[in-house]
Chain A
């Protein structure tokens, strides 16, 4: 569970985000939407402690993994990012990346890089996963596979997922809560 109280995040005297009291329950998908610069990424960064909010308390119960929007893949090869095993090989195959673990990172497309980064994130065994736009460069069919993977490997196993996405269509996840950041506030948009 994640709890934010009296939270305020500012950049250069401008309020980015304010939260009075908000809880994000465990074992659920929490989907965040909002315009560019609305503070979604900054909010994620502050949740994990990469940046400090100007005010308020954040408490996270459980271990976490955070995949930044501007992530870095370790080079030179894909296999430098995780230890290959049967499970990871099946993920790679599922994402149409058969045999890619031998590939040079510099040869990958934007979508392929995101798939590799996501697999690396999934290899971390934690309670909470914060994913900042993990599918922004992917085609629709790849997105569907990735969401199925998130459902199967994380949500079905009781993990909490916080996700930022700009996708207009509904994401194929069984249930979740969608938030929108408008006017420096987080509003619940829908639950399904």
Chain B
């Protein structure tokens, strides 16, 4: 297979996997954090928001130390594999999704909870209603997370090692090709990355357009 195509597919596979994992955990955690009236949960919200803005290289070094030979998970030999990259990306994307989802709940929280209480709606059903209610915002949060995973370079380089045909993804390949003076390949990869980024932005904007249209 063409090496460029292989890098593009590799990137998409890794980012889709990490975003899916982060979504499966992040969306319910975000919704529960938004709905909760427990003090300690309200207190950790700013921490989650801060984690969403932390330098990704910190996620990289955390995963690197965990998976390196001397680390607690070193025996599994996961460093410089897809699993390592996916783990680092989950660590970066998860707080981003949680921090994007919980504020969606806050404007409707009071009336929503009081209504559910008055109608004796179970917690599970409340979550179902919330997902339905906030689906546009949740989708936007997931797309932002996917975009963040696609754009990541430092952490991916650190734990993936940028190994040809194995852990090389678009961002790390662009850095390598540029350093080697292969500007044409770097540019082609850059165009692919640009198209994917535009695609994500187009979807997000379409979603927001629909939300605005709905509220008219």
Whether the Cβ atoms of A72 and B132 lie closer than 8 Å is no
- A74: chain B residues at CB < 8 Å are 129, 132-133
Chain A interface residue bracket vs B: 20 to 34
- A68: chain B residues at CB < 8 Å are 111, 114-115, 118
- A130: chain B residues at CB < 8 Å are 118
- Picked from A66, A70, A104, the residue with its CB within 8 Å of the CB of B110 is A70
Given A106-B214, A106-B215, A72:B117 Cβ within 8 A = no
Whether the Cβ atoms of B132 and A70 lie closer than 8 Å is no
How many angstroms between the C-alpha atoms of A65 and B115 in the bound complex? Answer: 10
Give the shortest distance, in Å, between A172 (CB) and chain B (any CB): 25
Instruction: Decide yes or no whether A54 CB sits under 8 A from chain B.
Output: no
B-facing mask of A57-87, CB < 8 A → 1, else 0? Answer: 0000000011110111011100010000000
Give the shortest distance, in Å, between A154 (CB) and chain B (any CB): 15
- B118: chain A residues at CB < 8 Å are 48, 50, 65-68, 71, 121, 130
Instruction: Enumerate B75-114 residues with CB–CB distance to A below 8 Å.
Output: 108, 110-112, 114
How many angstroms between the C-alpha atoms of A128 and B120 in the bound complex? Answer: 13
How many angstroms between the C-alpha atoms of A76 and B132 in the bound complex? Answer: 8
Given A72-B108, A74-B132, A66:B117 Cβ within 8 A = yes
Give the shortest distance, in Å, between B140 (CB) and chain A (any CB): 16
B interface residues, how many (CB within 8 angstroms): 16
How many angstroms between the C-alpha atoms of A151 and B115 in the bound complex? Answer: 23
Whether the Cβ atoms of A50 and B117 lie closer than 8 Å is yes
Most-contacted residue by chain A among B115, B117, B214, B216 (CB, 10 A):
B115
For residue A45, which residue of chain B has the nearest CB? B114
Instruction: Decide yes or no whether B1 CB sits under 8 A from chain A.
Output: no
Instruction: Decide yes or no whether A124 CB sits under 8 A from chain B.
Output: yes
Instruction: Decide yes or no whether B24 CB sits under 8 A from chain A.
Output: no
Instruction: Decide yes or no whether B70 CB sits under 8 A from chain A.
Output: no
Q: Per DSSP, are chain A's interface residues mostly helix, strand or loop, or mixed? A: mixed
- A48: chain B residues at CB < 8 Å are 117-118
Q: Per DSSP, are chain B's interface residues mostly helix, strand or loop, or mixed? A: helix
Whether the Cβ atoms of A65 and B133 lie closer than 8 Å is no
Whether the Cβ atoms of B112 and A72 lie closer than 8 Å is yes
Instruction: Decide yes or no whether A120 CB sits under 8 A from chain B.
Output: yes
Instruction: Enumerate B103-146 residues with CB–CB distance to A below 8 Å.
Output: 108, 110-112, 114-115, 117-120, 129, 132-133
How many angstroms between the C-alpha atoms of A76 and B131 in the bound complex? Answer: 11
- A120: chain B residues at CB < 8 Å are 119
Whether the Cβ atoms of B117 and A75 lie closer than 8 Å is no
Given A76-B132, A80-B132, A70:B114 Cβ within 8 A = yes
- B110: chain A residues at CB < 8 Å are 70
Give the shortest distance, in Å, between B119 (CB) and chain A (any CB): 6
How many angstroms between the C-alpha atoms of A130 and B118 in the bound complex? Answer: 9
- B132: chain A residues at CB < 8 Å are 74-76, 80
Most-contacted residue by chain B among A45, A66, A72 (CB, 10 A):
A72
Give the shortest distance, in Å, between B23 (CB) and chain A (any CB): 21
Most-contacted residue by chain A among B108, B112, B114, B117 (CB, 10 A):
B114
Across the A-B interface, the 9 shortest Cβ-Cβ residue pairs: A66-B118, A72-B111, A72-B115, A68-B114, A72-B112, A70-B111, A71-B115, A74-B129, A75-B133
Q: What residues of chain B have their CB less than 8 Å away from a CB belonging to chain A?
A: 108, 110-112, 114-115, 117-120, 129, 132-133, 214-216
User: Can you pick out 16 interface pairs between chain A and chain B where the beta carbons lie within 8 Å of each other?
Assistant: A50-B117, A50-B118, A66-B117, A68-B111, A68-B114, A70-B110, A70-B111, A72-B111, A74-B129, A75-B133, A76-B132, A80-B129, A80-B132, A104-B214, A121-B119, A124-B119
Please give 18 more A-B residue pairs, beta carbons under 8 A apart, in addition to A66-B117, A67-B118, A72-B115: A48-B117, A48-B118, A50-B117, A65-B118, A65-B119, A65-B120, A68-B111, A70-B111, A70-B114, A72-B112, A76-B214, A80-B129, A104-B214, A106-B215, A106-B216, A120-B119, A124-B119, A124-B120
